[in-house]
Amino acid sequence: MDRRRFLTGTGATLAGALAGCQGSTTDAGSQSTSDATTNDATTTKTTEQATTESETEAESYTVSMVPVGDVTFDSVPETWVANNGSWADMGVALGLEPPKGVWLTARYHTQYYDDIPGVSVDKSNMKSLWGDSGVGKEQFYALDADVHVVDPNFLLNRGQWAQKDVDEIATNVGPFFGNSSFSRSYPWHEDYRYYSLMEAFEKLSAVFQRTDRYEAIEQVHADFQAALAPVVPARSERPEVAVVWGSGSAPEQFYPYVIDAGTSYKHLHDLKVRDALADSDVKNFHENRGAIDYETLLEIDPNVLLVRGQETKTVGEFQDSVVSFMEDHQVASQLTAVQHGDVYRAGGLYQGPITNLVLTERLARDLYGVEDDLFDRQRVADIVHGEF
């Protein structure tokens, strides 16, 4: 256990207590970032507060996050596993080595870094935790990470683990530290708080003792919001958008996504779009996993159609395949969004501090005709490289 460089915290018991909670879908409006005032919001050190990565980490320190509770480290973790691309992107922003594994590597879209000077991620050795047979403990033993940035309740509910499995990996391999903030539609997440993107990022920066980079990226985001504000039109002029998942180059059916307050919708909230599906009879994908067709979309007839599942395509490839297919489709061609040329890639499910900047600016160009850069790419690169 000495090589693990951590001391167990209070999280395993809390995770088990919350694992089976059921209930109605959380009202996104009730889960505001004001939750940050709750007791868990503070991150403590057992000795002195370290604010730069150059300080010697001779003493243990504790970081707290719901639902894992207090996790104490006696030195900074070197290797890690991330639940998804949201956390992986936070690691990039902190200048870390990439995680050894994520839930699905195909959904960690590293091409978003292409326009950030000198920033790239090699996924060739990164493992997908989820496979044809689910996710097994053996993978966690094989990856042998110092910390698992994964909400244990995600494994208990989506991965079909038992509490004893979580406890075993936490004891024999490394602790869990995470929160499933990317979506607010899981019923099992109702009984404990969510974190905003930047709140979660701050927690992770404390785990890796790089809070100075968090603070620098936070300032970039503040500057970005200031640059974004003038380009967002008044509410009456903002488009009604429908977010759907449609795979392949000729999609005939779609999974509908009602916009909630999860971090996977942050770019849509930043751009203040209106949700065409919210007041319709269409059920959110998370509620019944049901698909809709073009006839149903035509009944709603959104101003803009945002298609998920298309992030591996460039804008040209998307236009030449998906959009062209819709233009030639008997029903899809009747959609207002298709007729006006307002069908776009929706962005991935997982957003971190860098990918949110990229996706928000991309969609601002699509929806509002923005031409200027809204954030300083070189500044982001400098922070990633520790030159700030």
Is residue 142's pLDDT more than 50? yes
Q: Does residue 52 or residue 130 have the better pLDDT?
A: 130
Mean pLDDT to the nearest integer, 221-237: 97
The two domains 2-209 and 234-383 share their CATH topology (first three levels equal) = yes
Q: Please, which contacts does 32-36 make with residues 24 or more away whose CB atoms are closer than 8 Å?
A: 32/261, 33/196, 33/199, 35/193, 35/194, 36/196, 36/199
Sorted by sequence, the CB contacts under 8 Å of residue 253 that are 6+ apart come out as 246, 291, 292, 293
- How many of the other CB atoms lie within 10 Å of CB of 254? 24
> How is the chain split into domains, by residue range?
2-209, 234-383
pTM for the model stands at 0.84
pLDDT digits (tens, 9 = 90+) for 83-111: 999 999 999 999 999 999 999 999 999 99
How many whole angstroms from its chain centre is CA 366? Answer: 21
**How confident is the model at residue 131, as a pLDDT?**
81
- The answer to whether residues 261 and 278 touch, using CB atoms and an 8 Å cutoff, is no
**How confident is the model at residue 132, as a pLDDT?**
77
Query: Is residue 133 classed exposed, middle or buried when 0-12, 13-18 and 19+ CB atoms within 10 A define those classes?
Result: exposed
Query: Is residue 85 classed exposed, middle or buried when 0-12, 13-18 and 19+ CB atoms within 10 A define those classes?
Result: buried
Strands 253-257 and 292-293: antiparallel
Residue of 103, 151, 367 whose CA lies nearest to 243: 367
Is residue 194's pLDDT more than 70? yes
What's the rounded Cα separation, in Å, for the pair 100 and 144? 9
Is residue 143's pLDDT more than 60? yes
**How confident is the model at residue 284, as a pLDDT?**
82
What's the rounded Cα separation, in Å, for the pair 6 and 173? 10
Q: What is the DSSP string of 35-95?
A: GGGSGGG--EESS----STTS---S-EEEEETTTEEEEESS----EEESSHHHHHHHHHTT
What's the rounded Cα separation, in Å, for the pair 63 and 46? 10
Residue of 211, 235, 209, 285 whose CA lies nearest to 25: 285
Q: Please, which contacts does 326-331 make with residues 24 or more away whose CB atoms are closer than 8 Å?
A: 329/294, 331/293, 331/294, 331/295, 331/298
Inter-axis angle of helices 377-384 and 211-228, nearest 10: 170
Mean pLDDT to the nearest integer, 264-270: 96
Does the domain at 234-383 match CATH 3.30.70.2170? Answer given as no
**Residue given tokens 């097994």 in the structure block:** 136
Residue of 255, 278, 270, 276 whose CA lies nearest to 362: 270
Superfamily name with CATH number, domain 2-209: Nitrogenase molybdenum iron protein domain (3.40.50.1980)
Sorted by sequence, the CB contacts under 8 Å of residue 158 that are 6+ apart come out as none
Mean pLDDT to the nearest integer, 183-199: 90
Query: Is residue 146 classed exposed, middle or buried when 0-12, 13-18 and 19+ CB atoms within 10 A define those classes?
Result: buried
What's the rounded Cα separation, in Å, for the pair 285 and 349? 13
